[in-house]
Chain A
Amino acid sequence: DTAVSQTPKYLVTQMGNDKSIKCEQNLGHDTMYWYKQDSKKFLKIMFSYNNKELIINETVPNRFSPKSPDKAHLNLHINSLELGDSAVYFCASSQGMELEAFFGQGTRLTVV
C-alpha cells in the first residue's frame, strides 16, 4: 500500500544510454513532482505536473522529458545520459495547493 512508488530503486547505466524512471501514487493527488538530490544531498525541484499539465520546469536540460499519462503517474525519461546525471531522483505528490508533498523512496541513478 505504498503511497508514492518509484521504479527502479537502483539504476546503473553507461553514458549515452536512454533510461526511464516510473512513478505512481495511490493517494488520489492531482499534482506530482520530480526532485533531484545530488551527491551533497542537495534537493532541487525539476518538474511539476498538475492534472497532467506541466506547471513547473526548472532549467532542466532538454535531455530530461517528463510524461504524465494520467494524474496517478509521472515518468521521467532521460536521453543521452551523462556522468553528471548521477543522483537520486525523487518523485512526490500533493493535492492541489495543499502544502505537504509526499515523497517516494527515490531512484539512485549511477552513470558510468
Chain B
Amino acid sequence: NAGVTQTPKFQVLKTGQSMTLQCAQDMNHEYMSWYRQDPGMGLRLIHYSVGAGITDQGEVPNGYNVSRSTTEDFPLRLLSAAPSQTSVYFCASSPQKKTEAFFGQGTRLTVV
C-alpha cells in the first residue's frame, strides 16, 4: 500500500540551482496538489492538477512549475532556487477535487 510517494526526503540546494521534486500515487486519483509548510503558517497550495494534462496555480505559485503527463505522477520543478523556498513540501492526492486528501511524507528542502 504505497499511497503517495515523494522523493527525495531531504535536499540541500545552492541559490540559483534547479531541481525536481517527485510525487507519485498508485490510487488512480485524478486530483493532485503540492503544498508547502512553513513554521507558524498553515500549509499553502502551490499548484494543483485535476487530471492528466491539466494544471493550475494555487496561492503561492511563483518560482515553481508543474506538469501532469500521467495520472500517477505530478513533479514539482524549482526553476532557480531561492532561500525563501526553504520549506517542507507535501504532495497530496484525492479521487476528485474536494474529496478526502492523502498526503505524502514530505520533502524537506533547504536552499543556502
Same complex origin of A and B: no
Binding site for B on A (CB under 8 A): none
